[in-house]
Structure 1
Amino acid sequence: MSDRVLAPSINANLFEEFEPNEWLCAHLIKLSELAASGAFMPDIVHEINGPLSSIRASAANNIHALHALREEVEQDLPMLSPDHHAQFWRLVERAWQYTHHLSTSEERKLTREICRFLEEHEIDEADEIAETLVEIGIHNGIESWLSLLRSPTCKKILQTAYNLASLFYSARGVQTALDRIAGITAALKLSAYPEILSDEWSEAIVTDGIDAVVSLFNALKLTKHLQLTRQYDPIPAIPCQPSRLMLAWRHLIRNAIEAVGGKPGSLAIHVAQQDAHVTVRFTDSGHGIPAEIRGQIFAPFFTTKCRKAGAGLGLYVARKIIEEHRGTLVIESEPGATTVLITLPKNAT
């Protein structure tokens, strides 16, 4: 039999009458946080390496373009007439404003259309000029550039415009990559390990912690296949340990994501006020929890995943944290719809 089949039955027997003491509970929560942080590391490294590679490539492109531009600007721009000089900078400005990315087939179609237009107006080397115009985002209104395109230095001028546009595109790419890294690091900071283990009590809005966890998972692209919706009714701040609750949200949301798997699915988060409590509801469209094991899912180390996928502490730790807040955590499940309902008291007494 596989580990996946054996794990639930072995853990169920081992912990059937097991209830960890307070000291062990605290250490299990710390172990759970370490496991959760470690589980994110491949995603974090992958997501940060992507934009870093873009920055390296952009930097190399910028160096090359700057060397080429120095010679082109010194040699060619002084030779332009005032009218062509103004047209050149309008061309560059149009190129800078271009943000749409065409598919290869769209580029080829546009290039052919522009090439035919240029040939009709007897522009030399129409195919090369059309290709450059498409690359810098000049796709329409070509007639307004005909005077410049008939210039003897047309190809050099277009190449200069192309290099200037490339510098701008590279700078924009660097900014996008840096914004992505900043998003990842900001999300990580909000759920950093030392803060998670803090025992400090304060008045807090529970949706702040949920949003921080969702931001982290979004930054790591763990939710890209999900239709994730959040419905937050007005709620008061409640006495809680925000860092501990954030750990509970991390486990519960990660469980929902893994239940859906890599296929398209949904996760709905609803936070509301009900009498003397704040309620938090997570509903996913995953495979559900079989009826025969629902009584065991809160046992420490119980898991239906393969051993590499998790330590089996998520639900145990999440419920323990909620109970520390004098709240409750219950699960209702059927294939295609699993709901985790948490209730937390609004007042300390």
Structure 2
Amino acid sequence: MNEVTLAELKAVPALQEVPDDQLQWMLDNGQTVEIKVGERIFEKGQSLDKTYVLIEGRIRIWADQNGKVREITVIQPNTVTGYLPFSRGQKTPGYSEAIRDCRILLIPKTKIQEGIKLNYELTEALVHAMTSRVRDFTSLQQQNEKMFALGKLSAGLAHELNNPASAITRGASALQCQVQHLPALFKDVAAINMLPEKIDSVNNLLISKTDGADRPILTMMERADKEDELTDWLLDHNIKDLDIAENFVEFGFGVSDLEHLNSCTPSPKLDVVLAWMNNYLLQEKMVADIRDASHRISELVSSVKTFTHMDRDTDRQWLDIHAGIRNTLTMLNYKLRKAKIEVKEDFDTTLPQVKALAGELNQVWTNLIDNSIDALEGREGGQLEIRTKKDGEFVCVYIKDNGPGIPADIQSQIFDPFFTTKEMGKGTGLGLDVVTRIIRQHNGTVKVKSEPGNTEFSVCFPINDN
């Protein structure tokens, strides 16, 4: 076995500023070990009682999630890991195995604790390594959770965008077809010898029906009755195109309007006027559908922009907490509809604006609401209630569902990293840990109360971050 040398320790970035005599102390109190590919280095939950200096090879850290493997990270050569001074970690977070042949310097925790009193520069270097590990691990957690959440949101968003986009495509195609009829209709209409005042009367009627101001809202039964009335009238007046009845009813035409048109039109040209008017009404309807679909896409893009806060910097901003919650509901609307979940909002609209990181809070709402959706999936009568209120100088958000609840024996574990009851691919086990970190960052708290049929997460944080 090739023992770890002083030169190799000096090549480790975290130890480059440590004096040679202190590095020699590490060699004197440590042990060089070799680990072959596939061999375990430690098991999950094992006591964190050694400092590892990985000189050669690579180590994979992974967790067991519902019987399946999820990689946490890969430790690269020239890295210090394991027990580090003043770390609060007591147990290993997962399993580890060599994915390349490894050569490691192992130093027992007891020796490191003794060395703290003797080697200032070494202790300082190891503490820096610890803080870097915490920072990198936290960043990795948040990035993994964001990517997982992004995948779920993008699937729903793609579906939400597809519907109006398809409506625009269909509307544009149908509109093109109607436009193609215009030359022939123009020829027929131009051949009618109508008095100018009659033309104005027909034109005014058409404009009044298309402005939408007094268009009736009909039930299906009422609509069917009116269509039958118009159809009977058209049959009595030898009009062959009976399909126009449906379109005319939608724009509020009645029998009296058809009588008026008949009185303005020279006989027997009523069918020409009705065909021209029907074409115009269809075009108006298609343009309105395209406009509504375009507006829906614009709303979704606006929600995405606000949700991700692309136009803001990373400083805390004064914001309306309800805007973030509503944008989150918009982003998750597809999942809510698919699961047939009824959403109830009980918002205290008198709440003052809060000083917070909008993008971070949106991640909190996404994780909590998405968890409720997953809990309600496949259940009849699913309900999601979101309530806000002011409690002193704190704002509180309550997210409640009537799902199966969280078993009492695991409620204390749900905020732990990588703990999840979901199947592989449906959860990372990081969501609630990220929620906790973000709310702590805002000097707040997150709690849960759960029993079958009633699970409520409460999030409270100060209105002013100070």
Answer yes or no: is 1:134 the counterpart of 2:249.
no
Which residue in 2 is equivalent to 1:222? Answer: 336
| Residues 74 and 238 of structure 1, relative CA distance in 2, 3 Å threshold | same
Q: Which runs of 5+ in 2 are unaligned?
A: 1-63, 73-88, 94-132
Helix, strand or coil for the counterpart of 1:312?
coil
Q: Structure 1, residues 56-95: CA drift from partner, whole Å, max 9, x if none?
A: 1221222222221133124324514225424532453355
Shift of 1:325: 1.6
Among 9, 12, 23, which residue is 2:136 paired with? 23
Q: Structure 1, residues 281-335: CA drift from partner, whole Å, max 9, x if none?
A: 1112222112222122112222222222222221111111111222111100111
Among 429, 433, 444, which residue is 1:312 paired with? 429
Shift of 1:273: 2.0
Helix, strand or coil for the counterpart of 1:178?
helix
Which residue in 2 is equivalent to 1:282? Answer: 399
| Higher strand proportion | 2
Shift of 1:22: 3.4
Q: Structure 1, residues 19-66: CA drift from partner, whole Å, max 9, x if none?
A: 783331122112111111111122111221211111112212222222
| Residues 112 and 244 of structure 1, relative CA distance in 2, 3 Å threshold | closer
Aligned residues of 1:298 and 1:316 also touching (Cα < 8 A)? yes
Which residue in 2 is equivalent to 1:54? Answer: 167
- Paired with 2:161 and 2:464, the residues of 1 have a C-alpha distance of 41
Which residue in 2 is equivalent to 1:68? Answer: 181
Helix, strand or coil for the counterpart of 2:412?
coil
| Residues 56 and 9 of structure 1, relative CA distance in 2, 3 Å threshold | closer
How many residue pairs align between the two structures?
335
Find the structure with the greater CA-based Rg: 2
Helix, strand or coil for the counterpart of 1:278?
strand
Answer yes or no: is 1:188 the counterpart of 2:304.
yes
- Paired with 2:272 and 2:381, the residues of 1 have a C-alpha distance of 49
Among 148, 151, 168, which residue is 1:38 paired with? 151
Q: Which has the higher contact order (CA 8 A, sep 6+)?
A: 1
- Paired with 1:143 and 1:270, the residues of 2 have a C-alpha distance of 55
Answer yes or no: is 1:81 the counterpart of 2:194.
yes
Among 308, 313, 321, which residue is 1:206 paired with? 321
Shift of 1:168: 0.6
Shift of 1:269: 2.0
| Residues 68 and 282 of structure 1, relative CA distance in 2, 3 Å threshold | same
Structure-2-length-normalised TM-score? 0.63
Aligned residues of 2:66 and 2:424 also touching (Cα < 8 A)? no
> Does 128-137 or 328-337 show the bigger shift?
128-137
Which residue in 1 is equivalent to 2:387? Answer: 270
Which residue in 2 is equivalent to 1:166? Answer: 282
Aligned residues of 1:111 and 1:131 also touching (Cα < 8 A)? no
Residue type matched to 2:450 in 1? S
| Residues 202 and 85 of structure 1, relative CA distance in 2, 3 Å threshold | closer
> Does 27-36 or 110-119 show the bigger shift?
110-119
Give the root-mean-square deviation of aligned CA atoms: 3.2
Structure-1-length-normalised TM-score? 0.82
| Residues 150 and 306 of structure 1, relative CA distance in 2, 3 Å threshold | farther
Aligned residues of 1:232 and 1:272 also touching (Cα < 8 A)? yes
Helix, strand or coil for the counterpart of 1:152?
coil
Residue type matched to 1:286 in 2? G
Which residue in 2 is equivalent to 1:235? Answer: 351
Helix, strand or coil for the counterpart of 2:332?
helix
Q: Structure 1, residues 83-119: CA drift from partner, whole Å, max 9, x if none?
A: 542453245335524575875x876654443343455
